[in-house]
A and B are shown apart, each in its own frame.
Chain A
Amino acid sequence: MTTLLTHLESLRSAGRKLLVPYLMGAFPQPDAYAEALLAVAEHADAVEVGLPYSDPLMDGPVIASAGERVIRDGAGPVRVLDLTAEIESRVPRIVMTYYNPIHRMGETEFCRRASVAGFSGLIVPDLPLEESESLRSVAAGDGLAWVGLVAPTSPPERIAAVAEATTGFVYAVSTLGVTGTRDALAVSARRVVAACRAATDLPVLVGIGVSNAEQARAAATTADGVVIGSAVVRAVLEEGAEGARAFLAGVRGGLDTL
């Protein structure tokens, strides 16, 4: 069992709903990143760190523009890994990146660097099961847990196959669409979670469009927890590290009532 999964399983078995916020690496700017990441991690059970990419096709405006800003500040994927390595880590970190930067660096080199930088999990949103076999194998060798994504359009046999390949948690995409905040949690979220439950005993976390404490609580009534991205990035941008900490404290509070 991967260290990420062991960590999440021990929390889950203690009855805790899992909170995994996302922060774009080197955001809001490289010299303010450490403060932001520590604030985001405070109420979290694991943190997802995004690597900036020029063509983030699964991201809506909030995260896409955060990535553009980081790239403008001169921080590419390598710099983000290096910066993250220097920041004290109290919860596991998962690196989220599109595939081309991995391909460019080489799967072996990428996984080695991510592991050295202290990451224990990997999410690649544009790498479906069929194309990820070699990366999954390399990642496993470096102690990086694989987070498999399941979408509302995934048929049961694909969900089973994704779950089979997953060594971290199953990321249940709540709705069709890109990252971003929504007014309400999609009705499809509950159905996707149920379909994942039918296929696996792994932790199932709902992400994409989970925007506030109320939606997180609603999602976690059936799921094991939530991933929150755009709302966190926006809080960091508009209210600073302290604002993000307060936002996530509210989400944590909601989850702890379940």
Chain B
Amino acid sequence: MSSASRWPEVTERGWFGQFGGRYVPEALMAALIDLEDEWSSARNDSAFARDLDGLLVNVVGRPTPLYLAGRFSELAGCEVWLKREDLAHTGAHKINNTVGQILLARRMGKTRIIAETGAGQHGVATASAAAYFGLPCVVYMGATDVARQHLNVVRMEMLGAEVVPVESGSATLKDAINEALRDWVTNVTETHYIIGSVVGPHPYPEIVASLQRIIGDEARAQFLVATGRLPDEVIACVGGGSNAVGLWRAFYDDSDVRLVGVEAAGEGLDRRHGASITAGDAGVLHGARSLVLQDAQGMIAHAHSISAGLDYPGVGPEHAWLAESGRANYVAVTDDDAVAAFRALASSEGIVCALEPAHALAHALATGHNGGLVLVGLSGRGDKDVATLAEYVEARSQ
């Protein structure tokens, strides 16, 4: 592929090609510029790197394993390796980002942490990191998600966070981000907003991607040791896109390695879904220009996915750039296929994964029959989804 070496590199003002930027109220500009300055000073500070490494090893439990899913591979018709972010502390890759951002928050002297959450995994990871450092934490969560991810609501509360249900709009992740931004506009002086994905205004997409790239840095090295070569294809689910970018950045220059992002096709692309890249177009949402689901007049659409973490009508600007440049390809998997893949992994490997990475597994099952080596980002564990699955099974047995 001729464009393979043109991998995204963020510009000084936060642009990945024509995507990104900083579309926020003036009140937030000073805070974003401060955050950008603090991030560049932290990146050149060996003490910051040492502190972060210490947290990643001792708190997060890194490195996470690279795991050959032998019996699942037989189902898929290819060798499927899983990067086990489900085994990270708090059960998903989200913690890689929250420990890094909370160190930044401390450097900036911020005394209060806020976050949004969809599936609840980012909320739990933020609440846990905030508890570790003794900082008060408020998590905004769509009321729909509060209901369907109840386990994580309880976990956040046990971790000392205040969970605020958001009733506006579609009462999901999009609306939780709106509410978190409203809080931040109001309390920006003392509060740091830990965004959970590679979305939002510059410098967030770059900060989150940099903190998450440890997934791929580890996986690439582990893969070489385990197999003596690189994978043919690296598959990751994409909601906002932090686990995918985190897994992929290490492979951008490996032009023979195919990168495949799997979005939520929900009930089908002709019905309700969350496939912003596959079926959306350019728009501005949550502070960045990217690909979004919207109507003819620019009203943001309500997304749908059985997995709360993919139920989002936008995507990080780095993904929009990757799609446009052709370095990554994007497909969409329905609720039904994701649940089938979830079951296949559970029964073949004894792993209860989250419904988000089940979308990536579904793609491996659907297209992996050429005997290659496939690496799948297993971004989180599925305890949180048990109630959703029970409902799904019940609805279909009637």
Contacts and interface: CB of A to CB of B under 8 A. Distances in A.
Given A177-B185, A178-B182, A178-B186, A126 B298 contact: no
A152 interface: yes
Contacts, number: 117
B299 A128 contact: no
Interface residues of B, number: 39
A100 to B, nearest CB: 4
Contact of B298 (A56, A103, A176): A103
Nearest to A148: B26
Interface stretch (A27-35, A71-79, A223-231): A71-79
A131 B283 contact: no
Contacts of B295: 76
B284 A100 contact: yes
Contact of A128 (B25, B169, B175, B294): B25
A55 to B, nearest CB: 5
B168 interface: yes
A126 B297 contact: no
Contacts of B285: 55, 100
B297 A101 contact: yes
B13 interface: yes
Interface string B177-206: 010011001111100000000000000000
Contacts of B22: 128, 130-131
A150 interface: yes
A60 B188 CA distance: 16
A176 B23 contact: no
Interface residues of A, number: 40
Contact of A177 (B23, B168, B186): B186
Contacts of B24: 126, 128
Contacts of A103: 282-284, 289, 298
Interface in A87-107: 99-105
A100 B289 CA distance: 9
Contacts of B21: 130-131
Interface in A222-255: none
B29 A154 contact: yes
A149 interface: yes
Nearest to A177: B186
A104 B29 contact: no
B25 A100 contact: no
B296 interface: yes
B298 A77 contact: yes
B42 interface: no
A128 B178 CA distance: 17
B298 A58 contact: no
Contact of B189 (A78, A128, A153): A153
Interface in A123-148: 125-131
B61 to A, nearest CB: 36
Given A53-B299, A149-B25, A177-B185, 19 more contacts: A57-B182, A71-B299, A77-B297, A99-B23, A100-B298, A104-B296, A128-B29, A129-B26, A130-B29, A149-B26, A151-B25, A151-B27, A151-B29, A151-B30, A152-B27, A153-B31, A153-B188, A154-B26, A155-B30
Interface of B: 13, 21-31, 168-169, 174-175, 178, 181-182, 185-189, 282-287, 289, 292, 294-300
